[in-house]
Amino acid sequence: MDFNPSQLSAIENYRLLIGTIVPRPIAFVSTVSQDGQRNLAAFSFFNGVCPKPFIVSFAPMRKMGNLEKKDTLLNIEETGEFVINIVSESLVEKMNLTSPEYDFEVDEFEVAGLTPRPSQRVKPPGVAESLVHMECRKVDILHFGDEEGAGSLVIGEVIFLHVDDSVYDGRHILLEALQPVARLAGDAYARTTDIFHLPRPSLK
């Protein structure tokens, strides 16, 4: 089967995208508006860019149906700050409670029963139940598309990083302890329980 994305609908392209780019790490992003309204939402279009400067990115799509920007994006455009909280298996069900498109005034920390954790360098709090927090300052936001399926790419610099002692051995993140989950397609998620090692070949 061959496809030309320009000839498909937004939902058809979306299904192909989330079904083929798997598994996807999850950015559980906390923000606050200029007026102090908290927001918490998960995004599975998330990745690192480079280590120095420590740059990460995630991509919030526009709301389906009306092309409105999501509250997370609006808050970052206003304040330039956000926190990415890494989602472990123990946190995934509460994270899922934040997924509906709540009204702007709704505090998803309260909806999900999660604890705001004061940040060191930015105003948005982290999620205390998360074992890794990346405090970020906006570098740039790129916008793509003007119809259903449009989205933005948020690029941020991690200016402060908190890693719980239980998942760090002084050199590496301990994946077996962190137990991060990843997004698949539809309602499916993946665990990182089947880990194997494959040394990189050397040219020497």
Q: How confident is the model at residue 193 (pLDDT cuts 50, 70, 90)?
A: confident
- Closest among 71, 69, 70, 84 to 124, alpha carbons compared: 84
Using alpha carbons only, give the angle 101, 128, 63 rounded to the nearest 5 degrees.
Answer: 15
Q: How far is CA 201 from the centre of its chain?
A: 32
Rg from Cα positions in the chain: 18
Looking at this protein, which amino acid is placed at residue 55?
I
Segment 152-165, tens digit of pLDDT: 999 999 999 999 99
Confidence label for 27 from pLDDT (cuts 50, 70 and 90): very high
| Domain regions of the chain by residue span | 17-191
pLDDT at 45: 97
- Residue 158, token pair as written in the block: 């991690």
What tens digit of pLDDT does each residue of 57-111 get?
A: 999 999 877 889 999 999 999 999 999 999 999 999 999 999 998 999 999 999 9
pLDDT of residue 99: 94
Spatial separation of the C-alpha atoms in residues 108 and 40, rounded to whole Å: 5
Q: 12-16, 118-122, 157-161: which has the minimum mean pLDDT?
A: 12-16
Which H/E stretch holds residue 133? strand 132-144
Question: Which pLDDT belongs to residue 65?
Answer: 77
Q: What percent of the chain has pLDDT over 90?
A: 92
Q: Is the pTM of this model over 0.85?
A: yes
Q: Which CATH number fits domain 17-191: 3.30.70.20, 3.30.930.10, 2.30.110.10, 3.20.10.10?
A: 2.30.110.10
Contact partners, residue 14, CB within 8 Å, separation at least 6: 149
Ramachandran angles phi, psi of 165, nearest 5°: -55, -25
204, pLDDT greater than 90 = no
